[in-house]
Structure 1
Amino acid sequence: MLTALAIRNVVLIEALDLAFHAGLGVLTGETGAGKSILLDSLGLVLGDRADTGLVRAGTDQASVTATFEFDRMPDAVRGILGDAEIDLEPGEPLIIKRRLRADGGSRAFINDQPVGVALLRDLSRMLVELHGQHDDRGLVNARGHRLLLDRYAHADVGAVAEAWQRWSKADAELAQARAAVAAARADEDLLGAYLAELTVLAPVIGEEQDLAEQRAAMQKGERLSGDLVQLQALWEGSDSALAVLRSAARRLDRIASEHPLLGEALASLDRAVIEAGEAEDRIAAAMDALAHDPALLDRIETRLFELRAAARKHGCTADALPAKLAEFQAQLDAIENGGTRIAELERAAQEASLDYQAKAEALSVLRAEVALRLDAAVAQELAPLKLDSARFRTAVVRLPEDRWGPQGVDAVEFLIATNPGAPFAPLGKIASGGELSRFILALKVALAEQGGAATVIFDEIDRGVGGAVASAIGERLARLASAGQLLAVTHSPQVAARGGTHYLIAKSSEGTVTRTSVALLDTAGRQEEIARMLSGAEITPEARAQADRLLEQA
């Protein structure tokens, strides 16, 4: 609920700090004292258009700060704040501030975090419900009527929403399957050709790399073959280098014992013969490894070209060709089996549709039944509020199928007819001023605790009425406020007497400077203000006595 409102430099208000409480709070004062300034200030902080006329003359900017506190923050409010990445600790107040410069610029903050004005407007619907002469929010707005009726009926709209989601999902799957089959059939011949090509090609994952490595080795052998043949010739024949080394070793072996150095030379020569023999073996092995078969190389290059050409054709790598083959096969299988699959999806979609329609129809019947009960409950409230010639009706209208949704198949709107024989029309288009406010009060009383904003404000709901009607209004406002917070701007002493808290709005002048102030009245102050409301400029003893009686009756 709204617990504090701080206003700086708004029209006639220089500086004002107000604290509000639960229950019914009434705001009174003489005409022109500045009650509308308070409502305009609250509207500014809740996202209304930034009107530079609100900035107090002679100042650069105006500001309004509203503080809201909750025993448990509504999920809708927490959701909006969460989407804006504003996290409040449990029990932390929600503080909204709006600054308006004289040149027209404005800024908004939530708990010191800059936000857009659109976010304030989104929050305003959850925080404050304002009913005044020109207000088009709250109960006047038909967009919330279906939700209010469903709450009044304790309807299980969640089951309908779940059924709608299942139907929507089944329809989407069916549409996707149909589109896939249609696209596949359009390309069936091409798919068949692709499948045949890849089936003949029979690609294998990793094959391209193996072939490329083989080809590279063969090409290297072809390039080195001449050198290898010449090297091998050095080791072949009786006059080869190795044969010469071996002959020298045999001859040296016969004389090695004649001198130590000859023995060492023989050892060195033996090692050379061994190393040369190993070199001969490795050259032979290399020639075998690098041997190339021109015919085999041609076959490898042909296969490699075919794999890479197919990969380019299908826009993938050679290793992805087996998956492409499986994909084409699956698409052709889908064409062959598409009828069966689509039939299954059609049955599922039909079942989901029937389930949704059954639940939505049951909800529609419940709405129609409960609408009659709500109409009767509102009708009982109209006569005491001097609206005995008026009629109220909750219109539950079946929507065309293309407008069905998770909330069911109905549109709901509250309609009124203010005179006998007059046609029914939306609330805001028929009633006006205090009459509209009394209609809304009757509806609020009938709906009782079926949801709404945390704070409800009625602006001059008693306009043009008095006596018993004003008393009836006051009694109903007090009843509504017992479960939350309700503020009423009033000119009626009967309504003012019902307030749990009473604020006096007054205007004063000092030379050319005019200011508006607001004071929280104590018991004596309330008696005096209600007596003024009863008697006018001169407060008589009779008026004070009557004020006491009204306060005692409240």
Structure 2
Amino acid sequence: MLTRLSIRNVVLIEALDLDFSGGLGVLTGETGAGKSILLDALGLVLGNRADGSLIRAGAEKASVTATFEFAHMPPAVAELLEDSGIELEPGEAVILRRNLASDGRNKATVNDQPVGVALLRQLGDLLVELHGQHDDRGLVNPRGHRKLLDRFAEIDSAALERNWAHWHEARARLDEARHEVDQIREDQDMLLAHLTELTEIAPQAGEEARLAEARAAMQKGERLTEDLDELRALWDGSDSPLAILRSAARRLDRIAPEHELLAEALAGLDRAIIEAGEAEDKLSHAAQALIHDPEELDQAETRLFELRALARKHRCEVDQLPEKMREMRTALDAIEGGEAQLDALEAAEREAGDAFRVLAAKVHEARISGAKKLDKMVAQELAPLKLDSAKFLTAIEKLPEERWGAHGMDGVEFMISTNPGADFAPLTKIASGGELSRFILALKVALAEQGGAVTMIFDEIDRGVGGAVASAIGERLGRLADGGQVLVVTHSPQVAARGGAHYVIAKSSEGTVTRTSVARLEAAQRQEEIARMLSGTATTDEARAQAEKLMEGV
């Protein structure tokens, strides 16, 4: 709940520090004393639009700080803070601060951590309901009506959310599979053409290296053919060097015994013949090895050209072409497999959708039943609040399927008709702020605290009423405040008499300087203020006695 509000330099407020407690707190004061300034300051720290006119004349900046403390922090508040990266110790207060400078700059913090104004507004929606002339939050906002009805009717919306999530996931998987199959089908003709081309070529791993090596060897043989032919001519025939050596060796062999040197010469000649013979053999073998078929060379070069052209086409290495073929076959196989998978996914999506529709239909019926009960309970509260000509309706609309969601198939909005025969319209269409506040009060009482913010503030909910109606308003505010916190700006002594804490707002002037102040009243001061509210002008003893009676009757 709101435990402290500190305001600096906001319009007529120079410096103000207010401490609040639980239960019902009332704020009173003469007309024009500055109650709206207090609410404007609170709205600023709750994320309302910053306006430079809020800065007190002569000041450079304004600031508002609101402190909230909880016995148990509401889960929604704790979750929002955690999601925003703001860590709090157990039992630590939540402190919202808004600074506004005269040059237009404004700064927002939560527990001294800089945040965007949007987060202040989100927290403000969870922490405070401010109902008044220009109410656009809390129960007035139709975005929360469905959740309030579900809580009132004790509907298990969590089961509906789970079913929706299951259906949504099944639909997402189906959409993804359909997209993949459609994409493959678009490429099918191209894949088939490419695979046919690769199949005809039938590339093999390592084939490029083998072909390149064979082609290089054949090209080398082609270059050496002429030289080898010339060498072969030198070694062949009766007048070849080797034949001459052999002839010389035969002649020398006949005379070698005649002299020692001739024998040695013969031995050297024999060695030369042996070496020359070996050279002849190697030349012969080399010539045999380098023999190439021009047609075979042409085939190798053609094959290499085709393989490398395909590799460039598919933007890969030649050795990766077999893998490309496998990928293409897999992609083509996926068409048949994908279509089979589609059948299974479509069945799963239908099953999940049917399950959601069945549960959503049950929730729809439960909402209709709950809406009737809520409408009846609100109707019982309207007459005592001088709204006996008004009617309340919880409108439930079956939405088209494209607008379904985790909430089900329904749109829910609280509607009213303020005059007999008038059409029902949203709460936001009510012109009178006091009338709107009384509707909200009736709805809050009927909902029996189902949802809503931690602190509720009603601005002049008793406007234009008095007597028994004011007493009825006060009694209901007291019921709402039991175990919680309600603050009400009031002109009604009947409402003020029920306050557990009473604050009076006053305006004073010193020369050309006007200031607004707020003070918490003690028991005797409360009686005097309520007496003033009763008498209207000079406070009389009769008014004091009536004030005492009102306070005793609470």
Q: TM-score, normalised by structure 2?
A: 0.82
Deviation of residue 75 (structure 1)? 3.1
Q: How do 1:167-316 residues align onto structure 2 when only pairs under 5 Å count?
A: 167-199=167-199, 207=206, 308-316=308-316
Deviation of residue 303 (structure 1)? 6.7
Three-state SS of the structure 2 residue aligned to 1:50 is: coil
Could you tell me which amino acid in structure 1 is paired with residue 173 of structure 2?
E
User: Aligned equivalents of 2:201 and 2:546: distance in 1?
Assistant: 106
User: Aligned equivalents of 1:386 and 1:195: distance in 2?
Assistant: 84
Q: 2:476 aligns to what?
A: 476
Q: 1:329 aligns to what?
A: 329
Could you tell me which amino acid in structure 2 is paired with residue 495 of structure 1?
V
1:318-339 per-residue CA deviation (whole Å, 9 max, x = no partner) reads: 5654553333223222333444
Structure 1 543/190 Cα, relative in aligned 2: closer, same or farther at 3 Å?
same
CA contact (8 A) 2:215 2:300 kept: no
Deviation of residue 545 (structure 1)? 1.7
Q: How do 1:126-205 residues align onto structure 2 when only pairs under 5 Å count?
A: 126-199=126-199
User: Aligned equivalents of 1:113 and 1:344: distance in 2?
Assistant: 51
Q: 1:94 aligns to what?
A: 94
Three-state SS of the structure 1 residue aligned to 2:8 is: strand
1:455-507 per-residue CA deviation (whole Å, 9 max, x = no partner) reads: 11100000011111111111111111113111111111111111111111111
Q: 1:351 aligns to what?
A: 351
CA contact (8 A) 1:417 1:430 kept: no
User: Aligned equivalents of 1:496 and 1:423: distance in 2?
Assistant: 35
Equivalences, count: 494
1:145-177 per-residue CA deviation (whole Å, 9 max, x = no partner) reads: 111111111211122222222222222222333
CA contact (8 A) 1:203 1:321 kept: yes
Structure 1 440/194 Cα, relative in aligned 2: closer, same or farther at 3 Å?
same
Could you tell me which amino acid in structure 2 is paired with residue 107 of structure 1?
K
User: Aligned equivalents of 1:440 and 1:355: distance in 2?
Assistant: 37
Could you tell me which amino acid in structure 2 is paired with residue 344 of structure 1?
A
1:290-321 per-residue CA deviation (whole Å, 9 max, x = no partner) reads: x9998899988877765554443233455654
User: Aligned equivalents of 1:298 and 1:137: distance in 2?
Assistant: 86
Q: How do 1:394-543 residues align onto structure 2 when only pairs under 5 Å count?
A: 394-543=394-543
Worse-matched range after superposition: 83-92 or 148-157: 83-92
User: Aligned equivalents of 2:291 and 2:60: distance in 1?
Assistant: 94
Q: 1:103 aligns to what?
A: 103
User: Aligned equivalents of 2:478 and 2:213: distance in 1?
Assistant: 95
Structure 1 524/307 Cα, relative in aligned 2: closer, same or farther at 3 Å?
farther
Could you tell me which amino acid in structure 2 is paired with residue 526 of structure 1?
R
Percentage identity across aligned positions? 64
Could you tell me which amino acid in structure 1 is paired with residue 143 of structure 2?
R
Q: 1:273 aligns to what?
A: none
CA contact (8 A) 1:379 1:391 kept: yes
CA contact (8 A) 2:215 2:297 kept: no
Structure 1 496/163 Cα, relative in aligned 2: closer, same or farther at 3 Å?
same
CA contact (8 A) 1:491 1:533 kept: yes
Worse-matched range after superposition: 48-57 or 294-303: 294-303
Deviation of residue 114 (structure 1)? 1.8
Q: 1:380 aligns to what?
A: 380
Could you tell me which amino acid in structure 2 is paired with residue 153 of structure 1?
A
Structure 1 319/399 Cα, relative in aligned 2: closer, same or farther at 3 Å?
farther
User: Aligned equivalents of 2:316 and 2:170: distance in 1?
Assistant: 33
Could you tell me which amino acid in structure 1 is paired with residue 104 of structure 2?
G
Asked which structure has the greater CA Rg, the reply is 2
CA contact (8 A) 1:35 1:489 kept: yes
Worse-matched range after superposition: 310-319 or 7-16: 310-319
User: Unmatched 5+ residue regions in structure 1?
Assistant: 226-236, 238-283
User: Aligned equivalents of 2:95 and 2:409: distance in 1?
Assistant: 39
Q: 1:52 aligns to what?
A: 52
Three-state SS of the structure 2 residue aligned to 1:487 is: strand
User: Aligned equivalents of 2:320 and 2:39: distance in 1?
Assistant: 69
User: Unmatched 5+ residue regions in structure 2?
Assistant: 225-241, 243-281
Three-state SS of the structure 2 residue aligned to 1:378 is: helix
Q: 1:263 aligns to what?
A: none
CA contact (8 A) 1:28 1:491 kept: yes
Could you tell me which amino acid in structure 1 is paired with residue 185 of structure 2?
R
User: Aligned equivalents of 2:14 and 2:291: distance in 1?
Assistant: 102
User: Aligned equivalents of 1:477 and 1:511: distance in 2?
Assistant: 40
Structure 1 25/357 Cα, relative in aligned 2: closer, same or farther at 3 Å?
same
User: Aligned equivalents of 2:291 and 2:18: distance in 1?
Assistant: 100
User: Aligned equivalents of 1:30 and 1:168: distance in 2?
Assistant: 58
CA contact (8 A) 1:215 1:301 kept: no
CA contact (8 A) 2:527 2:548 kept: yes
Could you tell me which amino acid in structure 2 is paired with residue 350 of structure 1?
R
Worse-matched range after superposition: 98-107 or 311-320: 311-320
Deviation of residue 432 (structure 1)? 1.6
Q: 1:83 aligns to what?
A: 83
